[in-house]
Structure 1
Amino acid sequence: MRGSSGIGAVTRSTLRQQIAEALRDEVLAGRLQPGQEFTVKEIAEQYGVSATPVREALVDLSAQGLLDADQHRGFRVHEYSADDFRGMIEARSLVTDGMFHALAGGHGGFQWFDDARTAAAVAVVRRRGEEARRAAVAGDLTVLIGYDLRFWRELSTLFGNPYLVDFLHRLQVQGWVCAVQHLRRLPDLRGELWSGHTDLVDALTRRDLKAARAILAGYSAHSLALIERLAAG
């Protein structure tokens, strides 16, 4: 009986995560618009599952700031403003700058990419960056978001602090949720999207902290200027 109960718990937990990821992707794809409302029943019927894992998934997404819960009307996609996006950029910049300071002092899991194991992991991150760069240049927003989220998560993972990884990943997801509502209105995104992923990895690999900071500052300035321009119409 214990084993059966454990399997059931794992299955439900996995389903809960799958539903949360699927709904997050719906928001990032623009199929669920900011302010759009829905109920647990509607989502359960859409995916052909019971209400319990759906409710848990929606609560998880609410905790991540992607949904707003209304006791009487269900859930709705959170509406971020340009000011919200500015706050996300500032928070990300402060955290990553602190990370770079730690790297300069020889702290964290990077160890300046000196050991073979870390170097191999960095090579994987760089490949993610290459895919993100190609998608950005081509203006393929859907592909870019997928690779960009993996790039930043894997890059921050190298630092060796899981709390840092989770925080930065949440900021990156929220930033994209805020950005896509504006970016998907543009008919052609070629030349609009930041594509400096591999430049950042290369700067870190050659221990050029000044260049890495400049690249990150450029990324923040580019992203903020683009979203503020689009939000202003």
Structure 2
Amino acid sequence: MAEAKRGKLISVQKHLRDQVANALRAALIAGELRPGAIYSAPALATEFGVSATPVREAMLDLAREGLVEAVRNKGFRVTEMTEGDLDNYTEIRELIEVPTVGRVTEVATEEQLEALRPLAEDIVKATRDHDLIGYLEADRRFHLSLLALAGNDHLVTVVAELRNRSRLYGLTDLDRAGVLVDSAQEHLTLLDLMIAGNATAAQELMASHLGHIRTLWAAGRRSAAKRASALRLGEG
């Protein structure tokens, strides 16, 4: 009986940690947590109405994703990205993903590619529903599942790490402006080209898509910076 209670308690604690982690990701995406700013687990715990432990554990999860970094005796600093970082991440992803899409077009079956269509549709639906967490998760699953068809697990791991370190910040304003929908639709177009066996066009669209993502990164970063500036002025 005692063992069952411990198991249930661990499950509840993990669920709470996951809930806090998702709330923190949403705050990062919305630009409510400012890049470069340091946040303490106790202060965030007070805002969420929970103890500091699940917040600290959630922040450690985000640190492993590269979204924040631990600052000794202070808390966690939201990771900052420069324009140079964005360019470098985009360049590496283009070097990996563009030729891989061409290769997958040639080796994957129509059934394998069609199996990805629900994920592509989930991306579009999430943008229309203004579900930013859902949008990013569906986008991640689509891209990594597509690359997995090349049969190289290490390649997928590298791209997953790049995606973690280049998460979109400050997307709320872009979502309200409707600019995410066009990027979301590109996933369906990409699938259609690949199913048709047009590797060249699929590679060109992937390169263009990553360029669009780079633009969204920059716009989200500027939006987050503007929010941070407005908050600082309000605090003054």
Is TM > 0.5 for Structure 1 vs Structure 2?
A: yes
1:23-172 to 2 correspondence within 5 Å?
A: 23-97=24-98, 99-100=100-101, 102-104=103-105, 106=107, 111-114=108-111, 119=114, 121-131=115-125, 135=128, 142-143=130-131, 146-157=134-145, 159=148, 168-172=159-163
Deviations 1:2-33 (A, max 9, x none): 22222222222222122111101110011112
Q: What residue identity is the alignment partner of 1:196?
A: E
Local SS of the residue matching 1:196: helix
- Give the total of aligned pairs: 217
What is the Cα deviation at residue 148 of structure 1?
Answer: 4.6
Residues 34 and 49 of structure 1, relative CA distance in 2, 3 Å threshold: same
Deviation at 1:36, TM superposition (A): 2.4
Structure 1, unmatched stretches of 5+, are none
Query: Who is 1:219 aligned against?
Result: 209
Q: Is the Cα–Cα contact under 8 Å of residues 40 and 75 in structure 2 kept in the other structure? A: yes
Would you say the 8 A contact 2:106–2:197 is kept in 1? Answer: no
Alpha-carbon deviations, 1:113-143, whole Å to 9, x = none?
A: 336xx63x323123224436x64xxxx9x54
User: Do 1:44 and 1:51's aligned partners in 2 also have CA atoms closer than 8 Å?
Assistant: yes
CA contact (8 A) 1:30 1:184 kept: no
Q: 1:61 Cα shift?
A: 0.8
SS of match in other structure, 2:76: strand
TM, length-normalised to structure 2: 0.73
Unaligned runs of 5+ in 2: 227-236
Counterpart Cα distance in 2 of 1:103 and 1:225: 26
In proportion to residue count, which structure has more helix?
A: 2
The letter of the residue matching 1:175 is: S
Alpha-carbon distance in 1 for matches of 2:139, 2:100: 16
* Amino acid of the structure 2 residue aligned with 1:207: G
Shift of 1:185: 8.3
Q: Which has the higher contact order (CA 8 A, sep 6+)?
A: 2
Query: 1:167: how far off?
Result: 5.0
1:93, CA displacement in angstroms? Answer: 2.3
Q: Residues 206 and 145 of structure 1: is their aligned pair in 2 closer, same or farther, counting only changes over 3 Å?
A: farther
Matching residue's letter, 2:109: W
1:72 is displaced (CA, Å) by: 2.4
**Which of 168, 187, 193 is the aligned partner of 1:177?**
168
